[in-house]
Amino acid sequence: MAGYRRLAHSRWGCRSNTTGALICFALHPQRCTSAEARRALDLLLGRETREAHTLGCEVARLVGAEAPRGFLTFFARFDLALILDLCSRVGATQDDPRVADLLKFVMSLQSEYGLWTYPHCPQATRWLTFDLMRSISRLDKNVDWIAAEPKTPFRPYPKRDRRF
């Protein structure tokens, strides 16, 4: 079972550290399609959660609409817009059922005017829409993606019983 920070199918994997490392790989000109980047994206796609309230939190951070917060980790929230952007940069396609499900969920969150909204900072709505449209348009350009990890159900860490 995957947890809040624990990656499924990984012995030592931490979702936050893997996300940070994958962003570095995805922005590198030669290593963006390396085996390490593909493995990291494959592990992140294995997490089976669809949280609408976190869609676009990374874009809001990048444009300065939301302050970067994090007590133990910088990537405390699982942002589906960031994962979709990483899919387009590393080379995942819609042929992978996990990417297709992610894209279907993100498209269902689109408003009647064609925008994706970030309710915490409405001023980031245009940037979020631009980022998602760019990521969606680049998904089909790479065709050599092979998925290795199955979908894994997500379970938050259990609450500890109080002593008193």
pLDDT computed for residue 162 by the predictor: 73
Number of domains, the chain: 1
- 70 is a domain residue: yes
pLDDT computed for residue 1 by the predictor: 42
Angle, helices 97-108/35-45, rounded to nearest 10 degrees: 60
pLDDT computed for residue 2 by the predictor: 45
| Residue 152: φ, ψ to 5° | -130, 130
Question: Which residues, including other chains, have CB under 8 Å from residue 163's CB and lie 6 or more apart?
Answer: none
- 39 is a domain residue: yes
pLDDT computed for residue 158 by the predictor: 63
pLDDT in tens, the chain (164 residues): 444 566 766 666 777 778 888 888 888 888 888 888 888 888 888 777 778 888 888 888 888 887 776 655 666 677 888 889 988 888 888 888 888 888 899 899 888 888 888 888 888 888 989 988 988 888 875 556 555 555 665 555 566 777 76
- 162 is a domain residue: no
AA identity, residue 145: W
Distance CA 24, CA 45 (A): 17
- 8 is a domain residue: no
- 163 is a domain residue: no
pLDDT computed for residue 112 by the predictor: 86
Closest CA to 49 of 105, 10, 93, 9: 105
Closest CA to 7 of 35, 32, 43: 43
Q: Show the domain range for 123.
A: 15-153
Question: Which residues, including other chains, have CB under 8 Å from residue 43's CB and lie 6 or more apart?
Answer: 7, 8, 9, 10, 13, 18, 149
Alpha-carbon Rg for the chain in angstroms: 16
- 97 is a domain residue: yes
Answer whether 70's CB lies under 8 Å from 25's CB: no
* Token pair belonging to 161: 């019983």
pLDDT computed for residue 5 by the predictor: 61
Answer whether 66's CB lies under 8 Å from 124's CB: yes
Answer whether 46's CB lies under 8 Å from 72's CB: no
- 7 is a domain residue: no
- 28 is a domain residue: yes
